[in-house]
Chain A
């Protein structure tokens, strides 16, 4: 009896050691997105401060680089979070929203419509940046199934070590430094850039074979609309002001029609550049694809006013507890802004923030 117990114990210890080793290796080999491609950390950072937001944005870079939740707080006392990720596809937005509603019940959801142009899974690298960062839930699993390209397999999402095992030869200091912790880089989901690279030229618009959004894209837009309805949350559709990728008039008409049919507010900020005050000489850091801090603050100031007036969003600035919480975010925001200006002064570009050196 004693012998059996000893063997059982030894077996359990061996199994536990092996499993721990695998878990450790998986953590070590998975990308940390610490200093390069930092967008890979956008999704996971949410869980550190989940909850307590009146507005949730779900979107690709058209929100997380163009809207500043800190500015919304400072000007209007609106609490918000951007659940954004690079090339976030509409089904990923849906499942992220579904997951977010398990953590909190916002008073408003904003969805940026550029991703309607994609009807099918696109790219594993972008999928990884959205999906790997999500905590395990049915929403994550469904998002994986909806997002995988033909070359991908679900098991590599269950066990990322299967995908990343070959990274052992590329391991760097950051893989060890951020083995059990993550760098903090974002401001309620906003990615800050203070540098300026003005618009010098516009892309040539080429015709498309078919301007109709695909069935799959419509299906998930309808699911987002329904999810918001089921939870009594108003949904706002927006198109960020960016000159590329091209937003075709034919696409815009379809969204306008959908918004009207479903009684949703839709704002195409490309039509309101003057009202917002966007100056393409000063308000973009990458020739008009994304806004820099100056542009994002202008857009947030303009958009925040509309949202607060139309949806009676509360001003939380008089709430001491909320104010204390947000003051920490404001301090971090100001600290990063000052540091970016310092780097610009010192190096001529944002060396440690992923910017490319001037030509």
Chain B
């Protein structure tokens, strides 16, 4: 009988003990070396989007979508040469992705659409995951940068936020 009572008490203690609450956080406080820059504005993944969007000025187009069930809006700001996507959390918006659309903008490491695969390798190194046949994905901290490659040339560059690291 003592065993049964001990088991039930142990089970109760286990259940009531402080265990991982599982609250999600907006990205990793450590950040990432992979950031997008345009003019004087630096766009880091998982950063608070408010100032970034304010500093970038009026977008060419704007699209928002409610997430299924949860409150808040996923937002997409399209500028002439790039797109910024944000995600909502705790009534604020955070940077979720940046997509470079044309060759007028280069990454801080000097890669733009049209660059060769070897130029990407030189700028970013060999620590990558292959995407498709020749594409590259580099991760650091809470950000990932992807280079899509078509016929040996970069056809798309996209930064993604890596969320839920904390």
Contacts and interface: CB of A to CB of B under 8 A. Distances in A.
B115 to A, nearest CB: 16
Given A11-B5, A151-B164, A286-B65, A206 B70 contact: no
Interface string B79-106: 0000100000000000000010000000
Contacts of A12: 1, 4
A125 B148 contact: no
Nearest to B129: A209
B1 A7 contact: yes
B8 A86 contact: no
A184 interface: no
A15 B5 contact: yes
Interface residues of A, number: 46
Interface string A202-227: 11101111100000000000000000
Contacts of A166: 18, 21
A18 interface: yes
Interface in B37-73: 61-66, 68-71
Contact of B69 (A8, A129, A209): A129
A207 B148 contact: yes
A253 to B, nearest CB: 16
A39 B15 contact: no
Given A11-B4, A209-B131, A203 B65 contact: yes
Interface in A140-193: 149, 151-152, 159, 161-163, 165-166
What bracket does the count of chain B residues touching chain A fall in? 35 or more
Contacts of A129: 69
Interface in A36-75: 36-37, 39-40, 60-61
B123 to A, nearest CB: 18
Contacts of B146: 209
Contacts of A11: 1-2, 4-5
Nearest to A128: B22
A306 interface: no
B19 A15 contact: no
A204 B8 contact: no
Interface in A206-250: 206-210, 244
A204 B61 contact: yes
A36 B71 CA distance: 9
A15 B68 contact: no
Interface string A106-129: 000000000000000000111001
A19 B1 contact: no
Contacts of B155: 207
Contact of B83 (A15, A61, A204): A204
A15 B8 contact: yes
B148 A286 contact: no
A7 B1 CA distance: 8
A87 interface: yes
Interface string A268-288: 000000000000000000110
B137 interface: yes
A3 interface: no
Interface string A21-46: 11001000000000011011000000
B19 A162 contact: yes
Interface of B: 1-2, 4-5, 8-9, 11-12, 14-16, 18-22, 24, 61-66, 68-71, 76, 78, 83, 99, 131-132, 135, 137, 146, 148, 155-156, 158, 164
Given A201-B61, A208-B148, 6 more contacts: A14-B8, A87-B68, A129-B69, A204-B83, A207-B156, A287-B63
15 contacts: A15-B4, A18-B9, A22-B11, A36-B71, A37-B69, A61-B69, A126-B68, A202-B63, A203-B65, A204-B76, A207-B148, A207-B156, A210-B132, A286-B65, A356-B66
Task: Name the 10 nearest CB pairs between A and B, nearest first.
Answer: A11-B1, A209-B131, A86-B69, A39-B69, A86-B68, A18-B8, A166-B21, A207-B156, A61-B68, A203-B63
